[in-house]
Each structure stands twice: as structure tokens, then as C-alpha cells.
Amino acid sequence: MKRKARIAVFASGTGSNFLAIVKAVKSGLIKAEIAFLLCDNPGAPVIEKAARAGIRSLIVSCGDFPSRESFEAEVLYALRRGRVDLVVLAGFMRMLTPEFLHAFPGRVVNIHPALLPSFPGTHGAADAASYGVRLAGCSVHFVDEIMDHGPVIIQAAVPAIPGEGGEALAARILKLEHCIYPQALSWLAEGRLAIEGRHVRVDGAAPAACGPAALPFLTSPGLEPAFLPTLP
């Protein structure tokens, strides 16, 4: 029998996506195992969340290493020792080098709180709100050497509410992140994704799905029912 894919989640902050992923793994929605959480910020709340969920944390501060290369060498060593197949960035505030990405080709993914290629960078949702977009959202994508740039796996769009600030919009988007990231990881863990140039083929997924009227959103490809958000 083929063994389950082993995931390492890299996070630097709050860890709400980390928790959504852990829940989806524990409930069997994502057919994978979490090898460990890697955190580069010793004060991050995600560490406590991992402890409560019984997931091992590895705290590796870049500042403790003489160079970025030696930091990444340590991280790669941990990934190999943990027999990690997939690297999942969930609010990890550090760019990975091309050398690192070459060690995990097509196996590093990220979530971004904007509809890429619009509003890359660290304040995606706030930038979208200030710009005055009518539709905002989030994207799960494969990671390449350019920030927030690799092939897109799934996006979710929500209407922007006129006058709503960046923080409120980011909070609404975050709820959808907690649905589309587990969905994308379940496809990835089941080997249902293929990168074809800039495009990602998702085997067996519905083209799109809409949320209920009370919770308007659109995702493409479609979320499977088990990944739909629950009404407040």
C-alpha cells in the first residue's frame, strides 16, 4: 500500500490556516500526515496551537544562522529526516531560495490573501481594499522563485463591501482561506494536480462552486461539499 504523503507546514504567525489544515488532516479530509510545524518566529502563536494539537514544532530562527544558505540547509535536513513530501507555507514570512525549491520541485505551495496576480506581497487584502476592488479573494498556488507568482491551484472570490477597511476584508477572506487551502491540499495529497506550464490541471474537480446567498463567494475549481464553509 502506498504510504500517506507527509506534510511540513511552515508558519510565522497566528496559525489559523495551520489549524484548519490540522483539522482537515485529523478528520481524514486530507489524506496525509503532518510531519511537523516549522516556525521561524519563537514568539508566534502558531507554536502554542501546534502543541495543543499534538503536532511537533521545530523553531528555527534565521538570525541564529550565519547565512540564509546555512538556515535553509538546516531546514532541508529536517525535511529529509522527517521524510517530508510536501511543504505547505501558511503565513511563512520568508522567501525560499531557488536552491531550496529545486530540492522540492512542484511540492511547495502557498496561500495568498488576494486574487493573484493582483496584489502580491505582504498586505494583499489591505492593498485590494485600498485600491477599491469590487471582488477580492484568496489564491492557493505552487511556489516558484518569484513572490506570489507560481501556477494557481484554486481561487475564491468574495464581493468587497464599500467602505469596509482592509482588516475586515482580510478577516472575511481568511474564512475562505480555511476552506480552499485544505481543499487544495487534499487534491495534492491524492496526486490529482498536474502543473502544465502556468496552468494546474485538477483531475475530477467541478469547474466552479458558489456559496449560499447568506455567504456569497465563488471558487474555481469548485469546492467539494465537505470543504464548504459553515454558516456563522
Residue 110: which H helix or E strand, with range? strand 108-112
DSSP 151-219: PEEEEEEEEPPTT--HHHHHHHHHHHHHHHHHHHHHHHHTT-EEEETTEEEETT--S-EE--TTS--EE
Q: How far apart (Å, rounded) are the C-alpha atoms in residues 221 and 139? A: 11
Nearer to ligand GRF, 73 or 220 (CB): 220
Which residues are annotated as catalytic?
112
Q: How far is it, in rounded angstroms, from Cα 68 to Cα 33?
A: 28
Q: How many residues does the chain have?
A: 232
Segment near ligand GRF (CB under 6 A); pick from 106-114, 195-203, 205-213, 216-224: 106-114
Contact yes or no for 107/189 (Cβ under 8 A): no
Is 90 one of the binding residues for ligand GRF (CB under 6 A)? yes
Q: How many residues bind ligand GRF (CB under 6 A)?
A: 14
Pairing relationship of beta strands 135-142 and 57-59 according to DSSP bridges:
unpaired
Site for ligand GRF in 118-177 (CB under 6 A): 174, 177
Is residue 96 involved in binding ligand GRF (CB under 6 A)?
no
Segment near ligand GRF (CB under 6 A); pick from 14-22, 23-31, 77-85, 221-229: 14-22
Q: Which is nearer to ligand GRF, 145 or 203 (CB)?
A: 145
For the CB of residue 112, give the shortest distance to ligand GRF in the complex, in Å: 5
Q: Does the protein bind ligand GRF through residue 113 (CB under 6 A)?
A: yes
Q: Would you count residue 82 as binding ligand GRF (CB under 6 A)?
A: no
Tell which one of 9, 10, 16, 219 touches ligand GRF (CB under 6 A).
16
